[in-house]
Amino acid sequence: MGFKMGIVGLPNVGKSTLFNALTRTAAAQAANFPFCTIEPNVGEVAVPDARLDKLAEIAGSRQIIPTRMTFVDIAGLVKGASKGEGLGNQFLANIREVDAIAHVLRCFEDGDVTHVEGRVDPVADAETIETELMLADIESIEKRMQNIVRKVRGGDKEAVQQERLLKAALAVLEEGKPARTVEVDAEDAKSWKLLQLLTTKPVLYVCNVSEEEAAEGNAHSARVAEMAAAEGNSHVIISAQIEEEISQLDDDEAEMFLTEMGLEEPGLDRLIRAGYELLHLETYFTVGPKEARAWTIRQGTAAPQAAGVIHGDFEKGFIRAETIAYDDFVAVGGEQAAKEAGKMRAEGKSYIVKDGDVLHFLFNT
């Protein structure tokens, strides 16, 4: 399981430049005018994980298959999008399909690049988009509540639950807070997710700074950091321009370039890691002579469901999982050595898979 992250923001903040860098393509047209992205561009990127390369080296795997992450570059939004301004309706429809939002904020000064509001203020930009999403949610909730009135009167349990959740969301939205601030009980979690409210999506603020400020950020990104902390959201500092340049270099050249810029790793790595944390994701591995492969699961996933990520039959016929912790696999030098050292465990259906586990599933067909 990977996940889908929508790249959103006002026009001309660097969304498409970042998308191009992330996917190492020029599929998204990056141009200095609003709405250069009309249809959402979708790109899949490999999730970098040095552990996978190490496991493949030890096992002599012929093929390395990383897990993948999907980015969606969504058309720029403007004030009034909730009422259909600009490409608002498309924006709102596309954003419903993603798991999380990477909200790109312009944190750089450049007189040659037009800002749709005529100024650089990332916090105000964030508020503009959040407000439009909240207004769209309020309109959606009011329509839905009208549509289920008859079912609620008739005592339909699902409709009664839906109305209760919609009212809870509406209450916080009318206070100017996003729907993700609602505390939802475990029994309501599935129904809550089905509401598909835009402001329930977790948000990662991406501070797009100039090349010179990529290592430390600037006053604009510092304000975003304060805002993110106050909201309980995350932020990363990236120079989309640098990332685009790096994406065109081979590995050795990219490493030299990063060193010269005072950066330890590409922004892509930081962005994916922040995205993983945002959605509470983790990675387990399957390793053998044929291939070493990474798989993405949500934290707290039990062994049968983790097996189901590979194939549904693995989950249905699950017997047990042979498990080796990554550190043990590396320390002793592989699967056979781990067995002999007593580092391989047989785990049953209740086992909660841990990040970095090397797993082999046994199942009935």
Q: Is 14 annotated as a binding residue?
A: yes
Report the DSSP pairing between strands 291-298 and 63-65.
parallel
Q: Is 16 annotated as a binding residue?
A: yes
Q: Is 140 annotated as a binding residue?
A: no
Q: Is 15 annotated as a binding residue?
A: yes
Q: Which among 1, 2, 3, 8 has a CA at the least distance from the CA of 199?
A: 8
- Around Cβ 342, how many Cβ atoms within 10 Å? 9
Cα separation of 207 and 235, whole Å? 7
Cα separation of 217 and 215, whole Å? 6
Q: Is 247 annotated as a binding residue?
A: no
**Helix/strand/coil percentages in the chain, nearest 5:** 45, 20, 35
Q: Is 113 annotated as a binding residue?
A: no
CA-based radius of gyration for the chain: 23
What are the backbone angles phi and psi of residue 322, rounded to the nearest 5°? -85, 120
Enter the tokens of residue 156. 């339909």
- Around Cβ 12, how many Cβ atoms within 10 Å? 22
- Which residues define the annotated binding site for ATP? 12-17
- Which residues define the annotated binding site? 12-17
